[in-house]
Structure 1
Amino acid sequence: MGLENINMQARDPQRAGEFWTGALGLEPFTVTDDLFEGRMTLAEDLWLDICIDRVPEPPAPGWRLHLDLLGGAAQEEVVQRLLALGARRVDIGQGDVPWVVLADPDGNAFCVMEERSAYQDTGPIAALPLDSADPERDGRLYQAITGWVRTEGVGPVTLRHPSLRGPLLELCPEPAPKERQNRTHVDVRPGPGGQTQDELVEIALSLGATRAQEAWAQGHAWIVMRDTSGNEFCVLGDHVGA
């Protein structure tokens, strides 16, 4: 099992996909009017897919899960490259902080980070900060359904792939309770020879997750769930290979 997708939403998946392809060095493998999918290879046996679904409305203010991109000593150079690709600077109330807040062409906010010792061998995405009502509780859930392990990081609970490569998943205290569907979420998939989709769902339920009941969440090959803080995630079908 593992964290397979970072799923985003945009009014124009093709335009957003072009931006994220340039930003992250993706290899696109699905490009339609309604869906973009591109692969970010982090090592020979480690990758993440960026999936962007079409939605009719722009993202609402407030991002409970967003991307922190690696900047470090080259932070300003990275910012300028992203602006040239179509990003723009945005003020989301961050104040005087060492990171730079940008938005993609569809308005999805993300950050370009300053130098941090925790960001070693992450690839272009340094971290995935996720708002949580209880980081310890949500950390136990995500550890169980992804196979990721606890590590030192910026958030009170930080998880990472067991190889200690790739981005950090940072469970951060939420500034306010969740009010609407997240525009960005993660997808997990059962691994070969391990749990099935149904078994992974049962593990998530046993740790406090719930199934999404809305009509939009029904009738898919994947199962839409929410963690103990209400954040959506999906359990994909049984392993089909990389």
Structure 2
Amino acid sequence: MRLENIVWDARDPHRLGRFWAAALGAESMTNEPDLFEARLHLSDEAFLDLCFQRVASPSTSPARLHLDLAGGPRQQEVAQRLLDLGAEHADIGQGGVPWTVLSDPDGNAFCVMEDREVYRGTTGPIAALPLDSADPDRDTAFWAEITDWVPRAGTTTLRHPSGVGPLLELCPEPEPSRGKNLLHLDVRPDAGDHDIVERVLERGATALSDPSDHPWRVFADPSGNEFCILARQS
């Protein structure tokens, strides 16, 4: 299993996709009328694909997944570069915090993080993927099962087993899920992983699509966050 995609719903996937590809230094892969995809290389073997799919009416539910970008000692320089690319300052009630909150061209909030010890070992432009959770300990175990990412001792965060890339942070939710997420994650099973659907259901996932709907299956994790299980790796 691997965590393969970060997926955005967008009215204009090309506009949003070009922003994030430039912001993260990702390589454009697919440029179809209703889909834009780019690959973010984390190492010679590890990557995350950024997928932007067209939807007629994006969800207006509160965001439960967002990106925390690596800023560190260059935080203000990084933030200014993103503003030059089309981001805007955003007020989501954060008050006086050491990180900078911006929004992308579709209004999705994200953060440029200050220097933190926990991020100093991360690689690439994304420091963390914070995901709201009703029970972070439970959901850390759930996401470890479906991504093969490794929990960090004493925390509710996960890391790629090679140690590269961002953290996946399970964060206490401010409120329960109230609808479809604008951003979600996709995982892809290995060729020999034939019982992944049974395993995620046993661990509290809810099926949101039928096997005949798409080549992939849509589920919600135990806290109601959507994710997709893609076709098995060939």
Give TM-score, length-normalised by structure 1: 0.92
Q: 1:210 is matched with which residue?
A: 206
Separation in structure 1 between the aligned mates of residue 204 and residue 59 of structure 2, nearest angstrom: 27
Asked if the contact 2:59/2:180 (under 8 Å) is kept, the reply is no
The structural deviation recorded for 1:9 is: 1.2
1:195 correspondence with 2:193: yes
Q: Provide the rounded CA distance (Å) in 1 between the counterparts of 2:37 and 2:76.
A: 28
C-alpha deviation, 1:201, in angstroms: 1.2
Matched, 1:237 2:231: yes
**CA contact 1:58–1:106 (8 Å) conserved in 2:** no
CA distance in 2, matches of 1:122, 1:152: 19
Q: Is the 8 A contact 2:58 2:182 kept in 1?
A: no
Match of 1:181 in 2: 180
Q: Please give the secondary structure, in 2, of the residue aligned with 1:52.
A: strand
| Partners of 1:122 and 1:168 within 8 A in 2 | no
How far, CA to CA, are the matches of 2:205 and 2:140 in structure 1? Answer: 12
Is 1:30 paired with 2:30? yes
Counterparts of 1:221-232 in structure 2, within 5 Å, are: 221-232=215-226
Moved more, 24-33 or 68-77: 24-33
- Return closer, same or farther for 1:236/1:58 CA change in 2, 3 Å cut-off: closer
| TM-fit CA distance, 1:58 | 4.8
Give the match's secondary structure for 2:117: coil
Query: Residue type matched to 1:231 in 2?
Result: N
Unaligned runs of 5+ in 2: none
8 Å contact 1:31–1:37 — kept in the other structure?
A: yes
Partner of 2:19: 19
Q: Deviations over 1:173-212 (max 9, x none)?
A: 00000001001110000124x413xx11111111111101
Question: Which amino acid in 1 is paired with 2:142?
Answer: L
Alignment partner of 1:22: what SS? helix
Q: CA deviation at 1:144?
A: 0.6
Contact 2:101 2:112 in 1 (8 A): yes
- Following superposition, the deviation at residue 62 of structure 1 comes to 2.1
Q: Structure 2: how far apart are the matches of 1:50 and 1:187?
A: 10
8 Å CA contact 1:9–1:53 kept in 2: the answer is: yes
- Cα separation, partners in 2 of 1:72 and 1:59, compared to 1, 3 Å: farther
Kindly state the Cα deviation for residue 151 of structure 1 after the two structures are TM-superposed.
Answer: 1.1
Counterparts of 2:32 and 2:94, CA distance in 1: 35
CA deviation after TM superposition for structure 1 residue 220, in Å:
0.9
RMSD (CA atoms): 1.6
Cα separation, 2, equivalents of 1:140 and 1:171: 10
Corresponding residue SS for 1:63: coil
SS at match of 1:74: helix
Q: SS of the residue aligned with 1:43?
A: coil
* Residue type of the alignment partner of 2:143: Y
1:121 shift after superposition: 2.8
Query: Post-superposition shift, 1:67?
Result: 0.5
Contact residue 12 and residue 33 of structure 1 kept, 8 A: no
Instruction: Give the distance between the partners of 2:161 and 2:34, measured in 1 at CA.
Output: 34
Specify whether residues 218 and 131 from structure 1 end up closer, same or farther in structure 2 by C-alpha distance, changes over 3 A only: farther
Q: Secondary structure at the match of 2:65?
A: coil
SS in 2 for 1:121: coil
- Corresponding position of 1:107: 107
User: 2:52 is matched with which residue?
Assistant: 52
SS in 2 for 1:18: helix
Gaps of 5+ in 1: none
Q: Count how many residue pairs are aligned between Structure 1 and Structure 2.
A: 233
Greater shift in the superposed pair: 58-67 or 92-101: 58-67
Aligned to 1:172: 171
Alpha-carbon contact 2:9-2:182 (below 8 Å) kept:
yes
8 A Cα contact 1:40 1:48, kept in partner: yes
- Corresponding residue SS for 2:22: helix
